[in-house]
Structure 1
Amino acid sequence: MSLTNPSNVEEHPWSTGLCDCCGDIKSCCITFWCPCITFGQILEILDKGETSCVMNCAIYTLIYLLTSCACLYSCCYRTKLRRDFGLKEDPCNDCLVHCCCMYCALCQEYRELKSRGFNVEKGWAGNASQHGEVAMAPKVEGGMRR
């Protein structure tokens, strides 16, 4: 029994390797120059629209600027992605992957979502209908008034 997969669900390999960036140069360039954008896009899909890309990008940037350790924050979402899709913890622990190769890890996560039919650039609302989900409307405090 695996500690990272307590439900005994069979784990599958990633659709691409950690360093297979040649297939998507555009996302690799964006990730290299501004990893917060790629992180925000990935997280919006993983959170099913509960959080926005802009908010996730801002949190990531703030953590990076204050601590230079955004990898410790982003690795938690690699774990979430792996568990949601039954992926192997490969090539090593999620935290180590993000701490040693954060840019490659974000690109791999982006490619994984693309390989599963998500158009990551469109965000959750642009993908919800094709994945059998309902895009949630933003909460409005106080209700509607005339």
Structure 2
Amino acid sequence: MTSKVIINQPQHVMDKKESDQWESGICDCCDDVPQCCFAFWCFPCFTCKTSREYGQPLCLPLLEFLFGGLIGPISMSMRVSMRERYGIKDTMCRDCLYSTFCIPCSWCQMSREIKRRKIQVLLVSAKNT
């Protein structure tokens, strides 16, 4: 007597194809007004919160204040890392400009991007049929 065993592995399904562009522009603060107000009123706390949501150490952005240079190295590296992780096509030149002259707007844009691209994991148990 032979028995035939068939095992089907669950497959993941993605409903939405991620874009290769930023989901919002650098000045689209009206897309998430509470986040922009938080960034305006308490920027160091906002950067720490955003860094934690991205999976980086909580106080990493505070190191940027120690450098005192013109270009924010932490802000720029976070933008570049985010572009690489999410496959966003942009330039290092633009990252440098935003990290130098538009730091609060840049962090707000990164926060909105994290919120929109966060994929929740759903574990499904397999049944024997």
Normalising by structure 2, we get a TM-score of: 0.66
CA RMSD of aligned residues (A): 2.9
Q: In 2 relative to 1, CA 68–93 (structure 1 residues): closer, same or farther, beyond 3 Å?
A: same
Q: In 2 relative to 1, CA 131–42 (structure 1 residues): closer, same or farther, beyond 3 Å?
A: farther
1:68 maps onto 2:29 in alignment: no
Distance, in Å, in 1 between the alignment partners of 2:92 and 2:74 is 19
Map 1:1-146 → 2, pairs under 5 A: 12-47=20-55, 51=57, 53=58, 56=59, 59-64=60-65, 66-69=66-69, 71-89=72-90, 92-117=93-118, 130-131=120-121
Larger radius of gyration: 2
Residue-by-residue CA offset, 1:101-130 (whole Å, 9 max, x unaligned): 001000000001111137xxxxxxxxxxx3
Say whether the 8 Å CA contact 1:72–1:99 is kept in structure 2: no
How many residue pairs match? The answer is: 105
SS at match of 1:93: helix
Say whether the 8 Å CA contact 2:80–2:95 is kept in structure 1: yes
5+ long unaligned stretches in structure 2 = 1-18, 123-129
Task: Provide the identity percentage.
Answer: 31
5+ long unaligned stretches in structure 1 = 1-10, 119-129, 133-146
